[in-house]
A and B are shown apart, each in its own frame.
Chain A
Amino acid sequence: MPVEILLAIEWALQQKDSEGNFITKNNAHDLVDKVREYFNINNVEYSTFSYDDLIPYLSN
């Protein structure tokens, strides 16, 4: 995973889903989409990843 992964997750958890609710750690699909969005916004290079790849970074 890119070194910016923690920043991406922190940012994603501050975003809201289509219903106006904050993204949570357990909302796998929305969390992955927002992390990817952060990467795109900040021009972070990444390859295919999944929610399983984010789990180790969600403990804190």
Chain B
Amino acid sequence: MANFSQALNTDLNGKLTTAIYDASIAGWVQKIQTHVLSSGGILVPLQLNASGNMKTAISEALPVGNNNIGDVDVASCALPVGAATAAKQDTLIAKDFATQTTLAAILAKIIATPATEAKQDTLIAKDFATQTTLAAVLAKIIAAPATEAKQDTLIAKDFATQTTLAAILAKMIVAPATEATLESVRALLAGTLTTALPVGAATQATLAEILTQLNTTGLKKIIDPLPVGANIIGKTVPVDADGDEKFTEVNPAFTRLTSSIVKVVLVNSVAIATTDTYIGDTIDISHMPHINLKVFSTLDQQVKLGIQVNKMDNESSPAYLHRWNGTVFETVNPDSSILSIANGVIYDINSRLPELNSSKISKIRIIAICDVAPTSGSLDVWIEGSVS
């Protein structure tokens, strides 16, 4: 057995002891180092701190079961210091999230089951990459529309200062669609043109030639007779076959100093087709002091004439002319058959009615009747006479 390297203490009587006398407590103190034999057969010293409390260290996991540890003073922890009692957490714990206004508002906007909601499921199930419409839209979109070179160029343009646009603007009237003059022209044309003009009508070569003709040599001739009514014609210059003026200062026109002979048509080639009474127009012949009444018929039936006249201008309607036959006055109407006209010859009525030679007649009209309806030919009655 080995000897201890330290000697024992001795008391007042010289007795050996392992204790140490402590004057502060006036007692013997025994220094003891306690060891515990571990499961591995190793002596492990039990330690105390300065206050005499046992110092322990747990080097292995606590066994399964109830390990009641009581209060634990944690020297360090992953949670921040005081996390368990931090004011914010306390505040959060105190919150009643079920009644929070903002959360309630959010909840109100959320559908009942967003994850499985039918429409969303349908949308989720869609393969947008293969959708025909989206593919068609994609096909029409250029690669980088926002920065595509041409669009950038257009965006960079200042249309307000573009020369061409400015030139166009300068040529336009203020409000072409509602411009008063154009509107007036359009309104006039709308009532006049019923058929659309052919394309290019305004520049047609033929029209241009006609315009040139009218502006240079003028209208060459009038083919048809002028219509009935006021045909006011300005100065006319008669010319001969060579185009020279027919009447000049040294070659004046012949002028009738008393009167001139004119022809006035009373019945203008009437094709009588029935046995009805034909009543001609009332013709004013007050300007003709002397008249010569003539008749020509090609009707295939005999026609009987009557003559109605106004002796005065203010008479309302003509009345049949009466003639003196040497015994009595006869009415010159169709029934009297004084003027029965056959076809093929010109009748000089004055020779039958010499009263016409000296009569001053204001207005005249012819009445005609055929006892049998003619099937061909026509009737002409006219006056040849001088004009006062």
Chain A residues with CB under 8 Å of chain B are 25-26, 28-29, 31-33, 35-37, 40, 46-52, 58-59
Contact = CB atoms under 8 A, between A and B. Distances in A.
Given A25-B224, A40-B376, A46 B273 contact: yes
A37 B269 contact: no
Contacts of A49: 270-271, 273
A36 B273 CA distance: 10
A51 to B, nearest CB: 4
A28 B269 CA distance: 6
B268 A50 contact: yes
28 contacts: A26-B225, A28-B380, A29-B269, A29-B298, A32-B269, A32-B270, A32-B378, A33-B271, A33-B298, A33-B378, A35-B271, A36-B271, A36-B273, A36-B377, A36-B378, A37-B376, A40-B375, A46-B273, A47-B273, A48-B272, A48-B273, A48-B278, A49-B273, A50-B268, A50-B270, A51-B269, A52-B268, A58-B224
A19 B267 CA distance: 24
B269 A50 contact: yes
B334 to A, nearest CB: 15
A-B residue pairs, 3 tightest by C-beta = A51-B269, A32-B269, A50-B270
Contacts, number: 57
A29 to B, nearest CB: 5
A49 B269 CA distance: 8
Contacts of A35: 271
Nearest to A27: B269
B213 to A, nearest CB: 21
Given A28-B268, A48-B271, 14 more contacts: A29-B380, A32-B269, A33-B377, A36-B376, A46-B271, A46-B273, A47-B273, A48-B270, A48-B276, A49-B273, A50-B268, A50-B270, A51-B270, A51-B378
Contacts of B380: 28-29
A50 B298 CA distance: 13
Nearest to B227: A55
Nearest to B268: A51
A58 B276 CA distance: 27
Nearest to B276: A48
B274 interface: yes
A51 B296 CA distance: 14
Interface of B: 224-225, 267-274, 276, 278, 296, 298, 375-378, 380
A35 B377 CA distance: 10
Nearest to B376: A36
B270 to A, nearest CB: 4
Contacts of A33: 269, 271, 298, 376-378
Contacts of B267: 50
B375 A29 contact: no
A58 B223 CA distance: 11
Contacts of B298: 29, 33
B269 A48 contact: no
B271 A50 contact: yes
Contacts of A28: 268-269, 380
Given A31-B269, A32-B269, A48-B273, A59 B224 contact: yes
A60 B268 CA distance: 21
A47 B296 contact: no
A58 B380 CA distance: 19
A35 B273 CA distance: 13
A36 B270 CA distance: 10
Nearest to B228: A55
A50 B268 CA distance: 6
A28 B298 CA distance: 12
A19 B336 CA distance: 36
Contact of B296 (A29, A37, A46): A29
